Copies of this chain bind each other. A is one copy, B any other.
Amino acid sequence: MNILIFGAGAIGSVFGGYLNQANHTVWLVGRRDHMMAVREQGLLITGIWGEKRIRLPHAVTQTSEIPRNITFDAIIISVKSYDTREAACQIAPLVKEETLVVSLQNGIGNVETIADCAGWDHTVGGRVIFGVEFHAPGEVEVTVYAEEVMLGHPKPSPLSEKTRSLAIEIDKSGIPTKYTEEISKYIWAKLLYNAALNPLSSLLQVPYGYLAKRQETRLLMEQIVSECFCVANSHETPLFWEKDADYMKVLTGRLIPATAEHHPSMLQDIRKGKPTEIDAINGAIVSLGKKSGVPTPVNETIANLIHALEKR
C-alpha cells in the first residue's frame, strides 16, 4: 500500500515506521527538524514494543514535495485536532477514488471536518489509546499501551472493505488494530474519558486518581459526563452506555484506577505554553450542545478556564 502520514509527530511517526517496516511505501509529512533527522538517520522507535531504527527516506515538510503520480491508498491524519481543517484542505488534492483518509486524533469533530473536504465515503475514524512521546528529532518512544487501535467508517461507505484491509495491514505490521462497524462509539468513549479527566486534572494539577477521591471532583465529573450524554442523545449519537451513571461506574471503577497516577498531556501543553485540544473535547460538547439547544454550562466553564490558562 502507498500510505501518507500527514502530521508525523509522535503517534504518526510510529504508524509510519511500522507500516514502512512491513514493506508498505510510506511518506511522512512533518516538521522540518524531525523530517530531516528521519531522512538522514532513519526513525528510532524505542519503548515497550522494543527498539528499532527504520530507514524512511520519504520524509518531507509539505505535500507539494510528493510526486504527483503517487496514488495513496490511505492518508493518515495525525495532526493536533486544532489543525485538522488545515490538514484536510492540504491533503484534499491527493484524495483519489479509492483513497482512505484516516483520522488518528483526539476528540470529536475531526471526522466531520475531514468529510467536509474528502467526503464521507473516504473518511475513516480511528481510536488510538496508546501513548507515544517525542524525544528528539528522529526519535520517539512508545510509553504505554491500553487497547487495540480501532478503525471504521462513521458513515456507511463503499470503501469499507478497503478499510478492513488497512486495519489488517496495520495489525500485521505490529500495531494491534481492529476494524469496527461502531467507530463513533469508540471515539465517543474516548471523548468521555478525556472530557471528564483531562481539564479537571490540568486545572487542579493533580493525577487522575485524585479526581475520583474527592466529593467535589466526582460531582464535577458527573456533571461533565451528564452533559455529554445529553448532547449525544440530542444528536442521536449512539454510545456504548445507555445512561451517564453506567459510564460513571466504568470510569471510577475501572478506567481511573488503571491510570490513577497519570497526568494528562493537556497539563504538559499548558506548562509549555502550547495550545491544548480542549476545543475538540469539552469545547466540542459545548458547540454540539448549542446546535441542538442542550445547555452545557459545566463543560463551557471548564473549557473557558483551560483557555484562560493556555494564554497565561
Contact = CB atoms under 8 A, between A and B. Distances in A.
A219 B302 contact: no
A217 interface: yes
Interface in A265-312: 295, 297-298, 301-302, 304-305, 307-309, 311-312
Given A206-B312, A210-B312, A312-B204, A301 B304 contact: no
A214 interface: yes
A168 interface: no
Contacts of A312: 204, 206, 210
Given A297-B297, A297-B298, A298-B297, A304 B206 contact: no
Counting chain A residues whose Cβ lies within 8 A of the other chain, the interface size class is: 20 to 34
Contact of A220 (B217, B295, B301): B301
Interface in A185-212: 200, 203-204, 206, 210
A214 B307 CA distance: 9
Contacts of A304: 216-217, 219-220
Nearest to A219: B304
A46 interface: no
A157 interface: no
Given A217-B308, A311-B214, A301 B203 contact: no
A154 B223 CA distance: 36
Contacts of A298: 297, 301
Contacts of A210: 312
Nearest to A304: B216
Contacts of A217: 304, 308
Interface string A215-226: 011011001000
A195 to B, nearest CB: 14
A240 B220 CA distance: 33
Contacts of A214: 307-308, 311
A217 B302 CA distance: 11
A223 B301 contact: yes
B308 A216 contact: yes
Give me the 3 closest cross-chain CB pairs, A-B, nearest first: A297-B297, A216-B304, A216-B307
Given A301-B301, A305-B305, 16 more contacts: A203-B203, A204-B305, A204-B308, A204-B312, A210-B312, A216-B304, A216-B307, A216-B311, A217-B304, A217-B308, A219-B304, A220-B301, A220-B304, A220-B308, A295-B297, A298-B301
